[in-house]
Structure 1
Amino acid sequence: MRNLYCALLLGLLVVTCLQSFAAGNNGKSPDECCFNFFNKPIPVRSIVSYEETRTECPKAGVVFITKKEARMCVDPGFKWVKRAIDQIDIRNVEGSTDD
């Protein structure tokens, strides 16, 4: 009977260790997610670039990177965010054709 308890305990420990290793080594976890959003419009002239958050994030978001290297999460559903993204894209296309 004692061998049965030892085997069960050892099996439980192995399963627990495997589960914690799998959770700790998840290579697909998002690098940056937005959990709080900046609500006030940011002047487009202050924004250098933007990044969209990964699909694995619980909320869709856009990260604006400003000239002062600040990273600000904004809600992509806001009209001002969509307009800013469009203007940044146009600015980047125009800038790349100057070469």
Structure 2
Amino acid sequence: MRNLYCALLLGLLVVICLQSFAAGNNGKSPEECCFNFFKKPVPVRSIVSYEETRDDCPKAGVIFITKKAARICVDPGFKWVKRAIDQIDIRNVESSTGE
């Protein structure tokens, strides 16, 4: 009977260790990365803001947040993405200065 308790305790410890290792590995993972990119241009008037993905993501990306709260991953290398980011930045500066 004692061997059974020892085996159960050892098994429980192994499960706890494996779970803590998995949680520790996920602790440094990016909150959100882009793995697939939306290729068609998104109208700037429908974009509220944008976020750049973190440096530790496998691919650099930009996430556009729309008025409908949709999050759209786009490739920052596309010309239309760069123009949209510039327009959003200008719009944000103008709204913060009250113009």
Which range, TM-score by smaller chain?
A: 0.7 to 0.9
Unaligned residue ranges in structure 1 (runs of 5+): 1-9
What is the CA-CA distance between 1:18 and the residue it aligns to? 5.6
Deviation digits for residues 43-93 of structure 1 (CA, Å, limit 9, x no counterpart): 000000000000010000000000111000000000000000000000000
What is the CA-CA distance between 1:23 and the residue it aligns to? 4.0
CA distance in 2, matches of 1:23, 1:54: 21
CA distance in 1, matches of 2:38, 2:45: 17
Matches for 1:36-55 after TM superposition, within 5 Å: 36-55=36-55
Q: Give the corresponding residue for 1:21.
A: 20
CA distance in 1, matches of 2:78, 2:46: 18
Q: Give the corresponding residue for 2:94.
A: 94
Q: What secondary structure, in the 3-state scheme, does the structure 2 residue paired with 1:81 have?
A: helix
One-letter code of the match for 1:55?
D
Q: Give the corresponding residue for 1:35.
A: 35
Matched, 1:79 2:79: yes
Superposition RMSD in Å? 2.0
Unaligned residue ranges in structure 2 (runs of 5+): 1-9
TM-score, with structure 2 as normaliser? 0.77
CA distance in 1, matches of 2:63, 2:33: 9
TM-score, with structure 1 as normaliser? 0.77
